[in-house]
Structure 1
Amino acid sequence: MATTKDSTDNFEDLLTCTICLETFTEPKYLPCLHTFCQTCINTYILSTVDKGKTETTFKCPICRQDVLMEESPGNTETWAKKLPGNHFVASMMDRHEIRKREKMCDSCKVNNKSKKARSLCTVCDEAFCSSCETYHKSFKISAKHPIISLEDVGTNKETVIVSSLIFSEEHSGEIIKAYCVDHSKPICTLCATLSHRKCDDVTTIEKAVSGIKKSQKSMEMSTELRDTSKQLSDLIQNRKTHLTDFESEVGAILTKVSTMKDNIIEHLNKIEGQIKDEIIKSKKETVLKLSEESTDLESLKSTVDNWIAIYDTCLHHGSELQYLLEINRISENKEKFGDAFIKSMSKIKNISMHLEANDIAENFAKRVPVMGQIKLVETDTSCPKLSLDKTINFHNGNINVIKCIDLNANSVFLSGLFMKDEFIFTNSQSYEVLKFSHNGDILAKLKLSDEPCDIDLINGTKAAVSSSSKTIYIINTQDMTLCHIVATTYPVHGFCHVNGEFILASCSTLTWINATTGVQTDQASTIGDSFLLYAKNRSDYICGDGSNTVSRTVNNTKVFSYTNEKLSHARGIYVDYDENFYICAYNSGNIHQITKDGKLIRIIPAESIGIKQPWVIRFKKNSNQFFVTCYQTGKVVVCEII
């Protein structure tokens, strides 16, 4: 919170309109905190809003977020004027002007005199020479007005903002004098009288801003903004790298197509053109999609970086009141921003181009009808927890049961997947894999030749199912059909698919096998009771390690072993997006929630969510929703943490 000169002192970028690229004139706020000249945003609105339709919104020129006007927006030509003025930026412009050039005494100007000003009244927002300052202090009404030195403002010694007059956005001309704690909102006298007279906690604005810059909220806000900016930078780089890799794949495929063409000579000229057209078309569509993903992320990052600029400038150069206003505005936008981020990430898929070449095409030119088939394979990307995402209290939040799905079985190995739009469960009693809607309605069934034990996702459309016969079934989750099987000689109950390998768990042995060939690639031993496991990658996994212990191993080293007398026979283990682990203890009838370093957070009784022996727990991706299966009753309860 130092006030000495640093990089944030150069705030010219914050004072420049991104439309006209000039210093702001009549700066206006949008809800997303981007600021524009009134005339610039007015021109933009008139050029983008269809006058022939009854419109109530327009999009921010930078982040494309919808800006909703009031219920009676009136003529679009008046929208820009109705937007709230950015008093903070206006104040920073005043300060900037003082630093750039010599300011003359305002009182002397009234008398047609010209004298250099030496101080500024932050209440009257007028500059005075030494004589006029003395007169100003001599009047009873202005004797206690704060006076600051213009020299101190110019050398950055003065942290008081140039003008301390902050006006209400709801009542023109009214100065903010109080703060409603109930609504987290600064208010003027009219606001307090008309809208907040029934509020329990209304305090003075001086009390509200006291210590705000050094508060815990301030520290957390700073950390959140910077973490989010870094995460978005990493994601943007990831998208750009993937785009480069994709284009390399396309180049390799085009080379292969050309080689095949050379071998097949003139006969394939026509179908060569067809396959190339399909490749180029798919490439064009995919490159456009990937580029748009990067653009969306850059827009989100632009928003966060803008918030950081506002935050830093207000922190170093704003008053406590202005600082409070700005962090309130940022806080109000965090949830909406988190929604926008999750929405953007839900659309992101890694896309690879595969050419499934016809074997005949490579050897027998006269019998080839087509060269091959172009496929764009989309795979989910890993989405980090966003710092500005919705705040879920995973440690202390209440657990609500959303619905119960009864598979009408008992003493059953019941595992499952929490898909985007469906649930998929394995029922060892009926030898079936079942697909349910999120409403709990059965959609499809797939009968297997022996009892399924566990299930894990391979990609967006394929899943693997382990069985008691040392066979792993690969199924299509869309049409619920069997694709092929992977035979293995190693015992398996629970398992995980990571980077082209399966990690198999059974009693006291963990075995790594190639997911295609079933050939062993590694093996490790545990103390026992390793029926199910969770793996972040092939060298970072957590599983049962004895009857009342769960251990996490990273790079062949145990980083922790969690033991509890109320933990008996650990089974399903999973992680939420806050990186807390959940352990189903089926014999002790509870679920243990622990931190990523093995510290107990809480023990959740299974009866509190309507089951008896929890077997498997799975979270929906990037969500506070999860389901737990019950070994004894064959029920599945879908819950959420709030």
Structure 2
Amino acid sequence: MFVSKPDDIKEEEWSTKLPTNHILVSLIDMNETKSGQKFCTACERENETESACSWCVNCSEALCKSCDRYHRRNKASSNHKLIEIGADVPIDIPLQHADVFCKEHPEKKVKAYCNDHSTVCCMTCVMLKHRKCDNVGSIEDAAEVMKQSDEVKEFEDKLKGFKTSLKAFVQNRVDNLQNFEADIERIKLQVDALFKELSEHLEKLKTNIRLEIAKVEKEIKPEMEDKRDEMKSKIAAVDNGVALFQTNMKHAPPAQFIKAMEKLSEQKKVLENHLRDQSQKIKEIKVTFNTNEKVLEMKNVIQNFGRLDVKRSDTDVMSHPTVDMRSVESILSSEVEIGFDVEGIVLLRNKNVVLSCTKTIELRDSECRSVLSSLSLPNCPRGLKMISDTEGAVAVQWHGLVLFKVQNNQIRKVSEIQANVIYDFVYHKGRYYIGYGNKICIYNRNNDNYSMISEISVNHSVGYMALRDDSSLCYTVYNDNSVYCVRMDGTPVFTYSSKDLRFTVGVTVDRTGFIYVCGHISRNVHQLSQDGKLQRIISNNLTADPNCITFNARGDEFVIGCYMKVLLFCLK
């Protein structure tokens, strides 16, 4: 549309008569105050540069400290709404229809919008630069058309998509950090175990050589002492012979002297023969220690216990965006007859399944039909959780926790924690929180053993448990219709109860913080918000009595362990 200037009016006067309504530039200016440094608008009009500290919503201008002070004092602007730079705009503050001035003609207010050039313009610009344009109209009409356009809707969807993707990135980092911390703790335990194994082996070798030393000493030393004592006795006999000889030399009569010499001569021959015989038989005994060359080389050959490998692999976070669990639809993808009561179940990253059954836990394929491996247990297993990608633990009733490892489609026992436990536990920052009666007992690793370091008192007998965040956890109670959330010191956070939730059992928390609790008798799963409010009932028509529920690592699938069945769901 082209608008002609009347002949009886000046350009400036005529251009000011066109309607104006500009929000866009004001929004851009206000956004700049949040995203970076903004200078005082009032000072800029005087060709001065001062950093802005506040934004006037009514004037749509940035103000420095000095102008802010005078703006508040001025009667005309004393009731204006001033917002500190960087602060969020309250939702109850209406956007003001502020005047926006033309870039080409700073003294002119923007009055029109040229659709041909997609730009705002003052009336002078309309006459001088856009007089041949076919589509010049009011800003109000242009803004209304823009609001209804597919481009704006697409832009809004893009922004929402960016937020969803950013949440996925954050969750990916949270998950990776948790796995990293678990890997660090696992490696520390491996190093401790290796050191202990080497120490025990070296101690055994030391004991063996010390026993051998003692045996040699016991056998050889008495023999040497006997020979020494025998020689000492011969010295005494020689001393007696010398004394007898000297006495006879001085005092004996001739006949007695000759007789004594004959006797001494015989003794001398016996002694000479004995010395000759002993000199041939006597052996020099010396003991030495020949060190094993491999032991000698150990210090040079073995310079470390091992090597840490930090692998940085690509992860396509964008292909697994954060799911909006408030509106997503859960689809039953598989229903598997098991033949026993499943009271603990987890989904591994490779989509295989670990589940608890009668006095065993089984590793099954992704369809939960074929048993790949199993681990026998001393009693009935209950709660089952993975501590890392390959390591997990299961609560064994009246026995404790059995720690296991899943690798190469095999499941094997690693160690165990002797503890009173009935149903379940949670793992948090290297510690196990084990439910027993009205207490949650905290176990920490001490060398090769786990010992209880403290306990938390709660108001109910703890059933199944789920870690909610770094500061709280949820638990259910046997033969109850509620789920309870408490802080790590036992302080209550909230309690959720419903007539539609009967006999609460398994409970879990998804990666976005929503809580899920199984109703065994009501045959449903209730989804709760982070503050314990019902969001929806996931399924009110389950084909079996649910016992436990868990999500996969990506959060787009979950599985429910039931009486005689396993139900696999995907999210759409």
| 1:550 and 2:483 correspond | yes
Q: Is the 8 A contact 1:437 1:443 kept in 2?
A: yes
**1:496 is aligned to 2:430:** no
Q: Structure 1 residue 3 and structure 2 residue 25: aligned? A: yes
Find out whether 1:463 has 2:386 as its counterpart: no
CA distance in 1, matches of 2:384, 2:309: 22
Aligned length: 368
Return the alpha-carbon distance in structure 2 between the equivalents of residues 434 and 459 of structure 1: 18
Whichever residue aligns with residue 146 of structure 1, its letter is V
Check the 8 A contact 2:468/2:513 in 1, yes or no: no
Deviation at 1:378, TM superposition (A): 7.5
Q: Which residue of 2 aligns with 1:408?
A: 339
**8 Å contact kept, 1:416–1:455:** yes
Q: Counterpart of 1:490 in 2: which secondary structure?
A: coil
Query: Among 337, 340, 362, which residue is 1:434 paired with?
Result: 362
Paired residue type of 2:548: V
> By how many angstroms is 1:531 displaced?
1.6
Aligned counterpart for 1:531 among listed residues 456, 460, 463: 463
AA at the equivalent of 2:363: K
AA matched with 1:472: L
Give the secondary structure class of the aligned counterpart of 1:574: strand
- Deviations 1:397-422 (CA, angstroms, capped at 9, x unpaired): 3321111233222xx35311111113
Distance 1:225 1:391 in 2: 11
* Deviation for aligned residue 1:594: 1.1
Match of 1:451 among 380, 385, 389: 380
450 and 125 in structure 1: CA distance in 2 versus 1, 3 angstrom threshold: closer
Q: Shift of the alpha carbon at 1:636?
A: 0.8
* C-alpha distance 378-506 of structure 1, shift in aligned 2 (>3 A): farther
1:610 to 540, 543, 550: 543
Give the alignment of 1:564-603 within 5 angstroms: 564-603=498-537
Counterpart of 2:135 in structure 1 is: 145
Take 2:421 and 2:125, find their aligned partners in 1: how far apart are those partners?
A: 94
Which one has the largest radius of gyration? 2
Contact 1:119-1:133 at 8 Å conserved across structures: no
Q: Tell me the alpha carbon deviations over residues 543-598 of structure 1, each in whole angstroms, 9 at most, x when there is no partner.
A: 12571221111243212110112222211111223321110121332211111111
Q: Per the alignment, do residues 486 and 405 of structure 1 end up closer, same or farther by CA in structure 2, a change over 3 Å counting? A: same
C-alpha distance 542-380 of structure 1, shift in aligned 2 (>3 A): farther
8 Å CA contact 1:593, 1:603 repeated in 2: yes
1:123 matched to which residue of 2?
116
Look up the match of 1:505.
435
Q: Which runs of 5+ in 2 are unaligned?
A: 1-22, 37-101, 106-110, 207-290
Query: Percent identity over the alignment?
Result: 14
The whole-number CA distance in structure 1 between the counterparts of 2:402 and 2:365 is 22
Please say if residues 481 and 503 of structure 2, whose CA atoms lie closer than 8 Å, have aligned partners that are also in contact: yes
Structure-2 separation of matches of 1:233 and 1:427: 32
Gap change, CA 1:468 and 1:8, over 3 Å in 2: closer
Query: In the TM superposition, what is the alpha-carbon distance from 1:474 to its structure 2 partner?
Result: 1.4
Partner of 1:209 in structure 2?
146
Q: Is the 8 A contact 1:507 1:529 kept in 2?
A: yes
Q: Is 2:567 aligned against 1:641? A: no
Using structure 1 for the length normalisation, give the TM-score: 0.48
Deviation (angstroms), 1:476: 1.3
- TM-score normalised to the size of structure 2? 0.53
Return the offset for 1:223. Answer: 6.8
User: What is the letter of the counterpart of residue 3 of structure 1?
Assistant: V
Helix, strand or coil: the match of 1:460? coil
Distance 1:124 1:234, change over 3 A: closer
Tell me, yes or no, if the aligned pair for 2:348 and 2:389 is still in contact at 8 Å: no
- Report the 3-state secondary structure (helix = DSSP H, G, I; strand = E; otherwise coil) of the residue aligned with 2:450: coil
Give the match for residue 625 of structure 1: 557
Preserved contact between residue 426 and residue 433 of structure 1 (Cα < 8 Å): yes
Mapped contact 1:496–1:503 kept (Cα < 8 A): yes
Task: Work out whether residues 463 and 477 of structure 2, in 8 Å CA contact, stay in contact via their aligned partners in 1.
Answer: no
Deviation (angstroms), 1:229: 5.9
The offset of 1:143, in angstroms, is 7.6
1:488, distance to aligned residue in structure 2 (A): 2.4
- Deviations along 1:198-218, one digit per CA (max 9) or x if unpaired, are xxxxxxxx8763367998986
